[in-house]
Amino acid sequence: MQRCRAFLNIWGCNLGLIKQAAVAFIRLKAIEYRIILSSGRDNPLEKIELDFCDNDLFHILGLQHLTDIDLPKKKVLTIEKIVDGSISDEYVSLSEHYSNNLLGYNIKQRVEMVKRLEQCLDADRFSVSVYKLQHDNHTVIIADYLITCSCKDSDTEYYIFIRKRRECEKYGIVSCFPKSNAIYWGGKRYLMLKEKIVNGCVCEMFRHPTFDGSF
């Protein structure tokens, strides 16, 4: 009975914001996105295989900006600490950086975005460009591609920055946040194919009429 109550406490309806974000991310760990891009007719196609690992969540949530509170040094523990309540809405709100807008958005908005990150990646309004480091924005984000998207029920645009993992050929998210006054851009790419793979089952979400499937 105690184990059942604990399960309901973690996965039930009355979750705090940051725990809802963690639960949404745990679902993403069973999902992969396959994206094929073109930079022009005479250039080779580019393939992105985007997956999700435990140690991604720390930077996806933007917790590195909360420098005035103690957070786990091992980023792989982020999900565990959120689920057991060590990192809670009450705790992160103790940071003066959590709700201020010095970045053009606040970290709370970023946590809210992670709740619907899967919706953002599934969105029809979805474009990808090759990211270029933009010193005018005073950013330190190092990424390979920039995804710009917005969900069906909102006009808000979001940025998702992805980078190839060091240990394999797949990509992971290194940062994401709602679009603000700072504009990010990159080299134009044409979306040829977007597939969502859930537990090995492939769902085709977009196919360009000229893409014949060869790669």
Q: Could you tell me the pTM of the whole model?
A: 0.88
Quickly count: other Cβ atoms within 10 Å of residue 50's Cβ. 21
Task: Tell which wins on pLDDT, 38 or 5.
Answer: 38
Q: What is the pLDDT of residue 32?
A: 98
Q: What is the pLDDT of residue 56?
A: 96
Q: What is the pLDDT of residues 138-188, one digit of tens each?
A: 567 889 999 999 987 778 899 999 999 998 999 999 999 988 777 777 789
The structure tokens listed for 125 are: 């309004």
Q: What is the pLDDT of residue 173?
A: 97
Q: What is the pLDDT of residues 55-71, one digit of tens each?
A: 999 999 999 999 999 99
Closest of 12, 21, 10 to residue 112, by C-alpha:
21
Cβ density class 133-143: b for 16+ within 10 Å, e for less: eeeeeeeebeb
**Exposed/middle/buried for residue 192 (C-beta within 10 Å: 0-12, 13-18, 19+):** buried
User: Mean pLDDT of all residues in the chain?
Assistant: 87
CA pair distance 70, 99, nearest whole angstrom = 17
Contact 45, 215 (CB under 8 A): yes
Q: What is the pLDDT of residue 10?
A: 46
CA pair distance 45, 212, nearest whole angstrom = 12
